[in-house]
Amino acid sequence: MKIVRHTAPDMRQALRAIREQLGEDAVILSSRRGAKGVEVTAAVDFDAARLDSTAKPAELRVAPETAFAPAPPPAAAATDASAEAMGNELKTLRRMLETQLAQLAWNERTRRHPVHVELLRELSEIGVAQDLADHLVGQLPPGVDLAQGRRFTVAGLSQYLQVTGDRWLDSGGCVAFIGATGVGKTTMLAKLAVRWILRHGPKDLALVASDTVRIGAQDQMHALGQLLGVPVHVPERFEALPQLLAGLNRQRLVLIDTPGASVRDAQFDARLAVLGACAPRLEPALVLAASTQAGALEETIARCAVVKPASCLLTKMDEAASLGGALSALIHARLPVSYVSDGQRVPEDLRPARALELVTQAVRLAKTSGAAADEDLLRRRFGKLAHANT
Ligand SMILES: Nc1nc2c(ncn2[C@@H]2O[C@H](COP(=O)(O)OP(=O)(O)OP(=O)(O)O)[C@@H](O)[C@H]2O)c(=O)[nH]1
Ligand SMILES: [Mg+2]
């Protein structure tokens, strides 16, 4: 491929000069008006042109006795390869051009709105998703300084993050804890059961052990029931859960332990269908480990959306290196948080979720971990967005 740039007083003259130099196959890549007239950048693929003109008819013929589907003739294959190479080069050029435009847009944004740019950097360091960060900064009233901007974005994030309050421990419910393996479902159930007993006594509580998959899961639930003095109910099969729950109408709080599985596992979908059949009595609650990567959290949330979880519980807050990604995923999904857990101790490490507290914790975590946004990444992300919006 050959690329040339021509400057001429007007477009007609520039195009003529390009045609004379590169021929009729020239492709215009860009044009812009400058002080000296019009600058046009064009390219032509010489290899393709040469191949076309030198291809001999004999090379393109297929022997008539060939019984099976013939392979593409060599000249045609070469032309294909050449066209593909040209396509790739054009893609590379386009990417380079986009990067440059993003850089220009970012520089312009830095010059005109230094506070916005600083806030975007800080939100990225917290782990807040790019579109959400851009949206928050876009909502700022004109003329705010950095300290005011910080308060606005923290307040904005905590307004978007929904929480349920201490609902189950106050008034009870029928809750099934669902989620991936090892995220802390059973531990969370145990913490809530103990807290309930401390507040209301054991009378109105029932535990359901429907995890028949993990070795020892049933024993664990029976041991918990014995310790707390509450009955533990075991369905014959997971599919028998709706009948079992129908018999537990009198209890004010029913906590159901379910087996963990990869959310891509077909078994997981089948169990969700059973839980869906228990609606509206049963409330599926999604247990998410805050230490999980935001993309994986988003996938789990999307897969579990079929049972319309009314809330989620965030566990392993103490293990998370960053919280902004998890909070962004919850905000995107409009999924309220009910309780959070930041340790293994039963029942100490459990608290009802409070939005401002969670956002402040995310900010603090970014500060203590010394998270530093990659300048190049910022420029590409937000510059591209700014350029796309112009
Ligand atoms: N650091 C920390 N560990 C936790 C927390 N919650 C649970 N764990 C630990 O995580 C491990 C798994 O917890 P489980 O409650 O068994 O998780 P699960 O989701 O029931 O696991 P499966 O039933 O196997 O899918 C245990 O060692 C818990 O003590 C937490 O908030 N922080
Ligand atoms: Mg478990």
Q: Has residue 280 been placed in a domain? A: yes
Q: How far apart, in whole angstroms, are the C-alpha atoms of residue 166 and residue 181?
A: 25
Please give the distance, rounded to the nearest whole angstrom, from the Cα atom of residue 233 to the centre of ligand 1. 22
Q: Are residues 200 and 288 in the same domain?
A: yes
Ligand 1 center–CA 185 separation, angstroms: 7
Q: Is the distance from CB of 228 to CB of 195 less than 8 angstroms?
A: no
> Which amino acid is present at 250?
R
Residue at 33 is within a domain: yes
Between CA 317 and CA 325, with CA 322 as vertex, the angle to 5 degrees is 100
Q: Is residue 314 situated within a structural domain?
A: yes
CA separation for the pair 105, 308 (Å, rounded)? 41
CA–CA dist 98, 109 (Å, integer): 16
For the CA atoms of 319, 321, 325, 326, the dihedral, rounded to the nearest 10 degrees, stands at 10
- Give, for 66, the enclosing helix (H) or strand (E): none
Alpha helices in the chain (DSSP H): 11-22, 46-54, 57-60, 74-112, 114-126, 130-138, 146-160, 167-171, 185-200, 217-228, 241-246, 266-277, 294-304, 324-333, 355-369, 375-389
| Interatomic CA distance for residues 252 and 197, integer angstroms | 12
Q: Judge if the beta carbon of residue 292 lies within 6 A of ligand 1.
A: no
Sites in the chain below the pLDDT cut of 70: 1, 45-78, 383-390
pLDDT tens sequence across 375-386: 777 777 776 665
Residue 288 · residue 179 · CB < 8 Å: yes
Residue 142 falls inside a structural domain: no
Ligand having the closest approach to the CA of 262: 1
Would you say the CB of residue 344 lies under 6 angstroms from ligand 1? Answer: yes
Q: Is the domain of 31 the same as that of 176?
A: no
Per the DSSP assignment, residues forming a β-bridge with 176 are 256, 284
pLDDT digits (tens, 9 = 90+) for 35-44: 788 787 777 7
pLDDT value of residue 48: 43
Domain boundary, last residue among 53, 81, 97: 97
Structure tokens given for 85: 């190479």
Q: Does residue 380 sit within a domain?
A: no
CA–CA distance from 349 to each of 3, 159, 312, 343 (Å)?
Answer: 65, 25, 16, 5
Q: Report whether the peptide linkage leading into residue 347 is cis, meaning its omega lies within 30 degrees of zero.
A: yes
Statement to judge: residues 37 and 177 lie in one domain: no
* Cross-strand partners of 6: 40
Residue 39 β-bridge partners: 7, 32
Domain count, the chain: 2
Confirm whether 386 is domain-assigned. no
**Domain at 319, CATH number:** 3.40.50.300
Place of tokens 């800080």: 122
- Last residue in a domain, options 41, 67, 97: 97
Neighbours of 355 (CB within 10 A): 18
Q: Give the pairing type, strands 337-340 and 311-315.
A: parallel
206 and 67 inside one domain = no
Q: Are residues 84 and 176 in the same domain?
A: no
Nearest to 181 by CA among 268, 303, 311, 295: 268
**Ligand 1 pocket, 258 CB below 6 A?**
no
Q: Are 84 and 189 found together in one domain?
A: no
Q: Please check whether residues 226 and 325 belong to one and the same domain.
A: yes
Structure tokens at 219: 């024993």
Shared-domain flag, residues 83 and 232: no
Pair 338, 306: CB distance under 8 Å: no
Of 157, 116, 158, residue with least CA distance to 382: 116
> 41 - beta bridge partners?
5, 30
Ligand 1 pocket, mutate which of 286, 304, 339, 344 (most atoms under 8 A from CB): 344
Which of 97, 120, 144 delimits the end of a domain? 97
Give the whole-angstrom CA distance, residue 243 versus residue 176: 15
Which pLDDT belongs to residue 63?
Answer: 37
Q: How far is the CA of 81 from the centre of ligand 1 (A)?
A: 54
Q: What angle do CA 290, 294, 299 make, to 5 degrees?
A: 105
Query: Which domain range does residue 37 map to?
Result: 2-97
Number of residues written out for the chain: 390
* In a domain? residue 156: no
218 shares a domain with 90:
no
Cβ 210 under 6 angstroms from ligand 1? no
- Predicted local confidence at residue 390, as pLDDT: 53
Residue labelled with tokens 């608290």: 351
Q: Is residue 71 domain-shared with residue 185, that is, in the same domain?
A: no
The pair of three-digit structure tokens given for residue 266, joined into one six-digit string: 């077909």
Claim to verify: residue 335 and residue 222 sit in the same structural domain: yes
Q: Is residue 382 part of a domain?
A: no
Q: Do 46 and 181 belong together in one domain? A: no
